[in-house]
Chains A and B, each alone.
Chain A
Amino acid sequence: EVQLVESGGGLVQPGGSLRLSCAASGFTFSSYWMSWVRQAPGKGLEWVANIKQDGSEKYYVDSVKGRFTISRDNAKNSLYLQMNSLRAEDTAVYYCARMYYDFWSGPGCFDYWGQGTLVTVSS
């Protein structure tokens, strides 16, 4: 059974940092693109970042470029999101998600999701 378990969320002051982790099990982690998707309270879904199987390609939504860094450790079956210079608008539930890959489209949709971890940026 595929399982994704996020951790590391919490309350942080504006300008602060936080590192999210996602522990993966039930599939060959090193064979999949992985992603972070967030959802602000009462709002819709927003893709944040994703990373290729070997970490050689990374993509970010414009609003987090230069502040957030996605990484992975295939030996530990773990995905990470280092979040720096946090702003109030980064407040959200952050989901770790596995990406479905299609030969023609590349990394595509999100076929498995974790339960999410809440990040609150407030003074």
Chain B
Amino acid sequence: DIQMTQSPSTLSASVGDRVTITCRASQSISSWLAWYQQKPGKAPKLLIYKASSLESGVPSRFSGSGSGTEFTLTISSLQPDDFATYYCQQYNSYTWTFGQGTKVEIK
């Protein structure tokens, strides 16, 4: 099974900060990685797919990069609406696994 490990688990930041979240796969997944945002009591929302493709309607301050086993989600300038939990998810070879999540908190 492919394991996904996110770091950090929690991140404290201020509005306007540049934020980077890392996701590592236990084996190569090419570019088959997605990122989601989830707010308390709500369903997850797709932000990025295929490692770096921005989902329609998602603000351009969100970006994704990486391939193989190491990936990053970057928020270029953190906005009040961005305080949430973020998950990565791999979809390689008909397997589907999420990372454990990264909570972005207000500093």
| Contact A47 B87, CB 8 Å, known A108-B34, A113-B44 | no
User: Does A50 contact B101, Cβ atoms closer than 8 Å?
Assistant: no
Size of the chain A interface, CB-CB below 8 angstroms: 23
Cross-interface CB contact of B34 among A46, A109, A115, cutoff 8 Å: A109
Main secondary structure of the interface of A (DSSP, over half): strand
Cross-interface CB contact of A110 among B30, B46, B92, cutoff 8 Å: B46
Please list the residues of chain A having a beta carbon within 8 angstroms of any beta carbon in chain B. Answer: 35, 44-47, 50, 59, 62, 95, 100, 102, 105-116
User: Does A106 contact B55, Cβ atoms closer than 8 Å?
Assistant: no
**Number of A-B contacts defined by CB within 8 Å:** 63
Nearest-CB residue, chain A, relative to B56 = A111
Cα–Cα, bound, A102→B101 (Å): 24
Cα–Cα, bound, A44→B44 (Å): 11
Minimum CB–CB distance from A16 to chain B (whole Å) comes to 26
Cα–Cα, bound, A10→B35 (Å): 30
| Contact A109 B49, CB 8 Å, known A44-B87, A45-B44, A114-B43 | yes
